[in-house]
Amino acid sequence: MKEEKWRNELNRYFEDLRIIEKCQQEAKENFDQFCEFIVEPALEALEEELKPRGIRVKYFRERHKFIHLQINFPGSKTDNFHYRIILPRNSLDLKLILKTAGRKDKKSPLVEKERPFMPEIKPEEVLKLSKEDIILDIISKLKEFNYAARTSPE
């Protein structure tokens, strides 16, 4: 009887590991799908809208890890604002992190801020976000940073 108990426990352990690995793989695949079908089209639309204003936008993605947006000062190659959505290492779901960074002016150092990505959205609802939801969040964070930078006494 005792021998059966430890075997069952060992089997349960290996089954739990299999489930964890499966969830981690699904989180990576869902993150890549989110980036490809929701975030990238949003960044492309934002880029098209900012281009006539002389504002350059760059974005790139590292599979299973992050997608990064960089907005430059108007008429400049100097980076002004960064918006990065990150899938944390070993994630089991789409509980993402948002890292923003910005410069007050072309010679200022980057100031970074890390927080949960859209904390009001449950991980299972991330794939239901729209292109517009992403654009509005980027604009919100850009405004928040620039308003604070322009009104700061420093």
> For the purposes of burial, counting CB atoms within 10 Å of the CB of 139, is it exposed (0-12), middle (13-18) or buried (19 or more)?
exposed
SS3 assignment, position 80: strand
Model pLDDT for residues 98-136, shown as the tens digit of each residue: 999 998 888 888 889 999 999 999 999 999 999 999 999
Angle between the N-to-C axes of helices 131-151 and 40-50, in degrees from 0 to 180, rounded to the nearest 10: 50
Q: What is the pLDDT of residues 16-63, one digit of tens each?
A: 999 999 999 999 999 999 999 999 999 999 999 999 998 999 999 999
Q: What are phi and psi of 58, to 5 degrees?
A: -130, 145
Q: Are the CB atoms for 68 and 86 separated by under 8 Å? A: no
Query: What span, in angstroms and rounded, lies between the C-alpha atoms of 39 and 23?
Result: 22
In this prediction, residue 2 has a pLDDT band, given cuts at 50, 70 and 90, of low
Nearest to 102 by CA among 75, 74, 72: 72
Buried/exposed 18-39: b ≥16 CB within 10 Å, e otherwise:
eeeeeebeebeebbbebbeebb
Question: Which pTM was predicted?
Answer: 0.90
State both tokens at 140: 């919100």
